[in-house]
Structure 1
Amino acid sequence: MDAMRKPFQGVLNIIRFNWHFYVIALFLVLALILVAFTFLLPLKQYILLLATLIVGSMAVSLIVSWYVYDVSNLYQLQWIDDIHNHQRILNINAGFDETSHLLKKKFPAADILSYDFYDPVKHTEVSIKRARKAYPAFAGTIQGNTHHLELPDNSMDKIFVTLAAHEVRNELERGVFFRELERVVKPTGQIYITEHLRDVPNFLAYNIGFFHFYSKSTWLKTFQQGNLTVHLEKKITPFISTFILVKNGSSS
Structure 2
Amino acid sequence: MSFDRAFSLARYNWPLYLTCFLGVALGFIIWKTQLVPPPIRYLGLLAAVVATWYTIASFVAFHVMFDHSDFLSGEWLTRCVEQSPNTCVQLSVCVEETTLPISKVFASADYIELDLFDESVMTEPAIARAKQKAGDSPSIVAKPEALPLTDHTSELTVVTLAAHEVRDPSQREALFQELSRITAPGGRLIIVEHIRNLPAAAVFGPGLFHFYPRTTWTTLAQKTKLRIESEFDITPFFHVFVLRHG
TM-score, reference length from structure 2: 0.90
Residue 207 of structure 2: aligned partner: 209
1:122 aligned onto 2:114: no
- Pair 1:45-2:28 in alignment: no
Conservation of the 8 A alpha-carbon contact between 2:75 and 2:105: no
Q: Which residue pairs with 1:15 in the alignment?
A: 10
Which residue identity is paired with 2:185?
Answer: P
- After TM superposition, the structure 1 = structure 2 runs for residues 141-180 of structure 1, keeping only pairs within 5 Å, are 141-180=139-178
Relative distance call for 1:129 and 1:39 in structure 2 (3 A) is: same
Deviations 1:57-103 (A, max 9, x none): 22112112211111011112232126756711101012525465622
Q: Which runs of 4+ in 1 moved over 3 A?
A: 82-86, 97-101
Shift of 1:216: 0.8
Greater helix content: 2
Give deviations 1:190-241, integer Å, cap 9, x for gaps.
Answer: 0000011111122122222111111111111111123321011121122211
Q: Distance in 2 between matches of 1:65 and 1:34?
A: 29
**8 Å contact from structure 2 (residues 74, 100) kept in 1:** no
Distance in 1 (alpha carbons) for counterparts of 2:53 and 2:98: 31
Q: Is the 8 A contact 1:175 1:226 kept in 2?
A: no
| Amino acid across the alignment from 2:194 | H
Mapped contact 1:95–1:128 kept (Cα < 8 A): no
3-state DSSP of counterpart to 1:157? strand
Give the whole-Å Cα distance in 2 for the aligned partners of 1:126 and 1:115.
20
Counting matched residue pairs gives 242
The residue that corresponds to 1:195 in the other structure is 193
Q: Which amino acid aligns with 2:154?
A: M
SS at match of 1:238: coil
From 220, 226, 229, the counterpart of 1:228: 226
Aligned sequence identity (%): 29
Letter in 2 for 1:118: F
Q: 2:59 is matched by which residue type in structure 1?
A: L
More displaced 10-residue stretch of structure 1: 199-208 or 80-89: 80-89
Structure 2 spans left out of the alignment, 5+ residues: none
